[in-house]
Amino acid sequence: MFQDGIPTMTGWWERLGAPAPRHAVTAPNLMLAPQLLPPDEPAHPSTLMETEVPAVLLVDDNPSNLVSLEAILEPLGVRMDKATSGEQALRFLLREEYAVILLDVRMAGLSGFETAALIKQRERTRNVPIIFLTAYGRDDVEVIAGYATGAVDFLQKPFPPEVLRSKVSVFVELFRAQQQVRRQSELLKQKEAEARDAALRASGYIDRLRDFTARLSEAGTVEEVCRALFEQGLVAAGAKAAAVNLLDEAGEALEVVDSIGFSEVVLAQWRRVPLSADIPLTQVVREQRPIWLGSPEEWHASYPEVDARGIHEAAVSLPLMVKGRAMGAIGLSFARPRVFSEMDRAFFTALAHACAQALERVRLATEERRAHEQARLAAARLRLLSEASDAFSVANRNLDGLLNTIAGQVMRNLSESCALFLLSGDGERLELMAFHHENSEAEALYREVLQVPLRSGESFSGRVLESGQPQILPMVTQESLLAMVKPEHQEALRRFPIHSLVGVPLRMQGRVVGVLTLCRFSQGRPFTRDDLGLLEELAAKAALSIENARLFAEQQRTQEELRRRAEFEQQLVGIVSHDLRNPLAAISMSAGLMEKKGELSDSQKRMVVRINQATERAARMIRDLLDFTKARLGGGIALHRQPTDLKDVVHQVVDEVLVAHQGRRVELDVESELKGAWDPDRIAQVLTNLLSNALTYSPADAPVRVGARLDGDSAVLTIFNGGAPIPAELMPRLFEPMTRGMLKEGQSSRSIGLGLYIVRDIVQGHGGGVDVVSAADHGTTFTVRLPRHGG
């Protein structure tokens, strides 16, 4: 059933309940074998005739997605079949025709791409449009694979419901048009069959009707249908003259579209006849029945006020009927009186019917060609807009590059030149920001003209700015062009005259900020309303891209300013901190000298002690500030690794810290062997900061414990203290600069909030990590993990 991960043809037929083919093959990849699906089954004619509501197939293995799709498409008034797998979707396609398929890419079982490949192998379902839907990222491989399997579009979830509804509605309308063509084709076949049956019963006419119908089947225009009637039907009927008349667009008059055998004098009277006129041709249209006049007497009796002497001796007026309505009439003129038998009447009616069907087929074919052309133009328009959007997106990080890209894209797709103007900073003038012309010499001349700023209402672009509305000049005269510019700038217009102009405003947040102006220099190619509509869409996309580029540039400037300011502040902190060390050293040295003299009173000794304590605190703050500056600007705090016994560092730090916390007690749990390659001074700094915090932020009677042990290739330090936990709101930023806890009552600050930040930087510099756990029941524990041999 599977080969290389792809379902085989036999396996799928068996799973779908269809008979397997005699020569089943397997497909090793997405280029599946052409007979993978069951053979095409011709749709029953009654199915085509009775299908009025188009159907849409929704395929997704997530039922909630199917419900959402159904809700989005409900306003379209279509019937929706929901399949939860590729297999179920294939079963639906065996018995139903769909206007479009919405297919999820990633499904259990058959994926969207595999399902699409199977669908495209079957003749009957090969042309059903498929729109892929996916909730994952649109990488290029998936997009290429989707289009390779025949997809018409590829949408990424989430998407605006209006976008999906609009895309589906296009295919639904196209499906309706195709159904209508099929119904007309079936009706034509039915009528032709009826005509042939009648011809069989009237053996005298069968060959002529067959030849005439064959001739009509080749007719592709109204003129060709009329020529066939005149050259074959007229001879078969034995008439001397004929005219084909069709209703005008308003349905108020009959107009001669072609004739043979009538003089110009006669045609001049009947070339256009109001439907209310009392003559046979208008009567058959109104009453939708043929009129048989076999002699001048019958004519005079029915239409006494219409003189037909010299025109004909007998006449037949036949309505051209299509689907119960008259689209016109055929008039036949005979040179001699004639009795019209039932066979004649059947034959003439068949002629008119065949002509009517041929004319209707021509009309439908013309409408179908028009619909296909409109669809082609719509697809080209969407492709152009998509390419423009992609180009704008690529360039929207650089405003100048974006403006040039916009002008170039618009010129290449719509015109021979494009000028992009933006309002000046004071909002008073239009200034040229980008200009492209396919002729380099003309570009140089026109650029000189366009470089002159324009005020509102001045020249063509200024009038667009003033009105705030699009303007189009399909045909431009040389005189009007010269009147728009100053004499010194008229050389460009004389050498390269403009023949058509169009301009649209660029709007940002409801405000006009610029103008996009296009020119065509070739005669016979005026701008149209369709061109204007497309240009408005491009202008909207361009304006949005320009706004985004401006915002991005402003954001970049702001970020750069903030970065420079932060860098300056950090440099300033480092410089000031460094320069403060010398005065502090002088203060400390002076206090030491005073203390050594031994001639101080008790109050003076206390002052010296306070000076030393204050100097120590200031020195510690300066050291923290310098470490902070090194960490932020210098790539991290410098480390000097050397063989170190962590046990000695712990004992030394505990002894030093307890000197400053008289009356406190620290419990030690230190293993005897704790050797590794660390910077002993920095590790002492880490332990000093953590232990000082534990003693500072815990009650005097709270236990404090320091532990040190080996854990594999790492040494682990733990510092525990009892008491109130660290506030929960402080935990996420505990290791950030300038973060401090709440001091105990009556306690002064000895920190600027850089200690834990420096602890983390030193530990991470050793390749380790630091964590904290704090709870009311279990106290607070900082855990430091240090690799023994670097990291």
Sign of the dihedral through C-alpha 22, 23, 29, 32: negative
Residues 440 and 468: beta-carbon distance below 8 Å: no
Query: Is residue 497 classed as helix, strand or coil in its secondary structure?
Result: coil
Over the stretch 215-238, which tens digit does the pLDDT of each residue have?
Answer: 888 888 999 898 988 888 787 788
**Which tokens in the block code for residue 598?**
């031994």
Band of residue 152 on the pLDDT scale cut at 50, 70, 90: confident
Statement: residue 14 has pLDDT above 80:
no
Among the residue ranges 10-19, 569-578, 622-631, 734-743, the one predicted with the least confidence is 10-19
Q: What was the pLDDT predicted at 35? A: 34
Q: Which residue has the higher pLDDT, 411 or 784?
A: 784
Helices 161-201 and 206-217: angle between axes, nearest 10 degrees: 160
Q: What was the pLDDT predicted at 676? A: 92
Q: What was the pLDDT predicted at 318? A: 93
Phi, psi of 660 (to 5 degrees): -85, -10
- Interval 442-462 mean pLDDT: 87
Homologous superfamily (CATH) of 390-556 is GAF domain (3.30.450.40)
Where do we find the tokens 């349905």?
251
Sign of the dihedral through C-alpha 306, 311, 314, 318: negative
Homologous superfamily (CATH) of 642-787 is Histidine kinase-like ATPase, C-terminal domain (3.30.565.10)
Over the stretch 616-640, which tens digit does the pLDDT of each residue have?
Answer: 666 666 666 666 666 665 556 778 8
Among the residue ranges 278-282, 426-430, 641-645, the one predicted with the least confidence is 426-430
Q: Which residue has the higher pLDDT, 428 or 11?
A: 428
Task: Specify the DSSP class assigned to residue 44.
Answer: P
Band of residue 582 on the pLDDT scale cut at 50, 70, 90: low
Statement: residue 380 has pLDDT above 80:
no
- Interval 579-608 mean pLDDT: 69
**Which tokens in the block code for residue 146?**
């989707």
Between the alpha carbon of residue 54 and those of residues 43, 80, 125, 167, 490, the distances in Å are 15, 9, 15, 15, 59
Statement: residue 80 has pLDDT above 90:
yes
Of residues 186, 241, 233, 235, the one with CA closest to residue 214: 233
Q: What was the pLDDT predicted at 39? A: 44
Band of residue 782 on the pLDDT scale cut at 50, 70, 90: very high
Q: Which residue has the higher pLDDT, 265 or 786?
A: 786
Q: What was the pLDDT predicted at 482? A: 80
Q: What was the pLDDT predicted at 690? A: 92
Query: In angstroms, rounded to a whole number, what is the distance separating the alpha carbons of residues 693 and 699?
Result: 12
What would be the CATH architecture of the domain defined by 202-365? 2-Layer Sandwich (3.30)
Among the residue ranges 155-164, 306-315, 423-432, 690-699, the one predicted with the least confidence is 306-315
Domain boundaries defined on the chain: 40-181, 202-365, 390-556, 642-787
Band of residue 385 on the pLDDT scale cut at 50, 70, 90: low
Over the stretch 499-546, which tens digit does the pLDDT of each residue have?
Answer: 899 999 988 888 898 999 999 988 888 998 888 888 888 888 888 888
The model carries a pTM of 0.37
Q: What was the pLDDT predicted at 130? A: 92
Statement: residue 590 has pLDDT above 90:
no
Query: In angstroms, rounded to a whole number, what is the distance separating the alpha carbons of residues 546 and 548?
Result: 5
Q: What was the pLDDT predicted at 5? A: 40
Contacts of 348 (CB under 8 A, 6+ apart): 237, 290, 316, 318, 332, 340
Statement: residue 30 has pLDDT above 50:
no
Q: What was the pLDDT predicted at 748? A: 47
Of residues 633, 615, 618, the one with CA closest to residue 575: 633
Number of CB atoms found within 10 A of residue 212's CB:
27
Between the alpha carbon of residue 89 and those of residues 16, 86, 749, the distances in Å are 10, 5, 73
| 314-322 and 417-423 beta bridge pairing | unpaired
Mean pLDDT of the chain: 81
Among the residue ranges 176-180, 272-276, 280-284, 489-493, the one predicted with the least confidence is 489-493
Of residues 284, 280, 283, 282, the one with CA closest to residue 299: 280
| 130-134 and 241-247 beta bridge pairing | unpaired
Band of residue 45 on the pLDDT scale cut at 50, 70, 90: very low
E strand or H helix that includes residue 334: strand 325-334
Number of CB atoms found within 10 A of residue 551's CB:
11
Phi, psi of 330 (to 5 degrees): -110, 130
Query: In angstroms, rounded to a whole number, what is the distance separating the alpha carbons of residues 560 and 563?
Result: 5
Statement: residue 610 has pLDDT above 50:
yes
What is the share, in percent, of the chain residues with pLDDT greater than 70?
80
Query: In angstroms, rounded to a whole number, what is the distance separating the alpha carbons of residues 215 and 106?
Result: 53
Statement: residue 188 has pLDDT above 50:
yes
Residues 424 and 459: beta-carbon distance below 8 Å: no
> Would you state the torsion angle of the CA atoms of residues 63, 67, 73, 79, taken in this order, to the nearest 10 degrees?
80
Q: Do domains 202-365 and 390-556 have the same CATH topology?
A: yes
What is the share, in percent, of the chain residues with pLDDT greater than 90?
23
- Interval 482-497 mean pLDDT: 81
Residues 312 and 280: beta-carbon distance below 8 Å: no
Over the stretch 697-749, which tens digit does the pLDDT of each residue have?
Answer: 888 888 999 999 999 899 999 999 998 899 988 888 888 876 666 555 544 44
What would be the CATH architecture of the domain defined by 40-181? 3-Layer(aba) Sandwich (3.40)
Among the residue ranges 140-149, 165-174, 240-249, the one predicted with the least confidence is 140-149
- Interval 398-414 mean pLDDT: 82
- Interval 648-674 mean pLDDT: 87
